[in-house]
Each structure stands twice: as C-alpha cells, then as structure tokens.
C-alpha cells in the first residue's frame, strides 16, 4: 500500500502517527479503496493538505469513480466539489435546497443555495 499510494515514509515500521498529514490521508484512502468498495464516503478528504497531496487524493477518488464506485463527497471546498462531483446537493440547516447536475448553469448561484436564499428545486426542501 505504501508503494501503491505513494506514501512517503523512511520505513514500513514507522508508526502512522509519525507521518505527515498528507501521507496519513494517502494511507487511509488506500486502506479504504483497496478492496474496491461499492460506496465510499469521503468527508473533507483533502482538508489541510498541501497541493501535491490534494491532487493525488482527488485523482484517486476520480479513479475509483471511473472504476464504477460511488463516492459520497462531503466538502466545503467548492473547487473540490466542482472537480469531483457528477451531482451537487446544496444543504442549508439540514435541508436539501437543491440537487444539481455538474453541468447545470445554475451552479453559478450555488452560494445562494448554501445560504438558504436560493431556489428550492425539489418542490419542498427535504429534511436530511
């Protein structure tokens, strides 16, 4: 897994807690996707990581998606959301404001949905 997920460590015997944040994230992601689960929940997977680790983790998630795995991404990083997601659900105070396809031109107004002031496109907003 160290080789497959490019975890930088001087030795396989180094405790995980002594690795950098990015390398810990790579190790965790590797552990979770190595069995090719049908569904992967990724909550803020790149939070606090450097650019290189962020890019690597995003590519691994895209690779898993291309292999047919479903990924539920929870993130406040809109760049990450727009890059990785096919559909985007905006939630405000525990309610779905709308679910949009990645190509939907209304995504330009995603901030309004996130603030609870945008259009609720699903009839009445659904409680989570």
Instruction: Give this prediction's pTM.
Output: 0.76
Q: How many residues are given for the chain?
A: 128
Say how many C-beta atoms besides its own lie within 10 A of residue 115's C-beta: 11
> Residues 45, 73: contact at Cβ < 8 Å?
yes
d(CA 37, CA 93): 30
**Is 70 exceeded by the pLDDT of residue 77?**
yes
Residue 108 tokens, joined: 């330009």
Residues 15-67 have pLDDT tens digits of: 999 998 888 988 888 888 888 999 999 999 888 888 888 898 899 999 999 99
Residues 45-54 have pLDDT tens digits of: 888 888 888 8
């Amino acid at each position: 897994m160290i080789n497959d997920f490019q975890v930088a460590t001087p030795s396989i015997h180094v405790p995980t807690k002594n690795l950098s944040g990015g390398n810990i994230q790579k190790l965790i992601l590797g552990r979770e996707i190595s069995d090719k689960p049908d569904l992967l929940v990724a909550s803020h997977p790149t939070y606090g990581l450097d650019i290189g680790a962020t890019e690597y983790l995003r590519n691994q998630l895209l690779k898993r998606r291309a292999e047919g795995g479903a990924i539920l991404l929870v993130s406040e990083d809109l760049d990450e959301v727009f890059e990785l997601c096919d559909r985007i659900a905006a939630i405000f105070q525990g309610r779905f404001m709308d679910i949009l396809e990645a190509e939907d031109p209304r995504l330009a107004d995603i901030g309004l949905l996130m603030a609870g002031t945008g259009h609720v496109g699903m009839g009445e907003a659904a409680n989570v």
